[in-house]
Amino acid sequence: MEIIEHTLDDHKIFQILDVLDQDLFSNLQISKQKIYDFTGPNITSNEKVFYRIKNWKDLDSWEPHIGIDFVSYAKIIKNFFLNLNLNASMTNFNMLVNNRYNGVHWHKHHPLPPTNDVNKFWVAVFYHHSFWDSEYDKLYDGRLRVCNSPNNYGITFPCYANSVIIHNNAFGHCVDQLVRGAPVSREVCYTEWSIFNK
């Protein structure tokens, strides 16, 4: 695991490469099929959302919905926050397949309940497709642009397989371009995290 810190408008954005070890990432490629069906690389979109399930603050309670491998991933992100001295709980889990050539419009993930403290709410964008390297980045793009408004360029991040981008609610994000024709689908897992006092 490699953690790279970026600073934008005095806020940290984290890019983590090789989030999962190879065995867990390989297992996830199988177990994700049980959550929803992938119908091939040419579909437009396919999405599953799980929001604040019963006992949602306990990550193990998510297992019947998202499976043990994604729970293991979520625990890694939970520990990442703990290392920042943030007591974070996952409130939302969203899996998406997206091969739209025109990308994804700029948007923010909004906390419930609302808060003006941007550090009380974070989003982790995890790329769980089986493969996506620098060559795919050049050919098909799919980069995530993190910025404080759609007109502000901000910072872009490649959607490398087994990587995650984590930012707070000072920012939204978008995908400016996603070129059709990639041999694999672009698969994204969004998790939303709220920070609670210890």
Q: What's the pLDDT at 44?
A: 44
Counting residues of the chain whose pLDDT is more than 70, the rounded percentage is 88
Q: What is the pLDDT of residues 182-191, one digit of tens each?
A: 888 888 999 9
Task: Report the predicted TM-score, pTM, of the whole model to 2 decimal places.
Answer: 0.91
Q: What is the pLDDT of residues 89-113, one digit of tens each?
A: 999 898 887 766 667 889 998 876 6
Which of the residue ranges 3-12, 27-36, 56-65, 76-85 would you say has the lowest mean pLDDT? 27-36
Contact 167, 4 (CB under 8 A): no
Q: What is the pLDDT of residues 70-94, one digit of tens each?
A: 999 999 999 999 999 999 999 989 8
| CA distances for 120 relative to 28, 93, 156, 164, 190, angstroms | 29, 17, 23, 19, 17
Query: CA 42, 45, 46, 50 torsion: positive or negative?
Result: positive
Higher-confidence residue of 78 and 181: namely: 78
Residue 93's CB is within 10 A of a number of other CB atoms, namely 24
Q: What's the pLDDT at 99?
A: 64
> What's domain 2-195's superfamily in CATH?
q2cbj1_9rhob like domain (2.60.120.620)
Tell me the average pLDDT across 108-125: 86
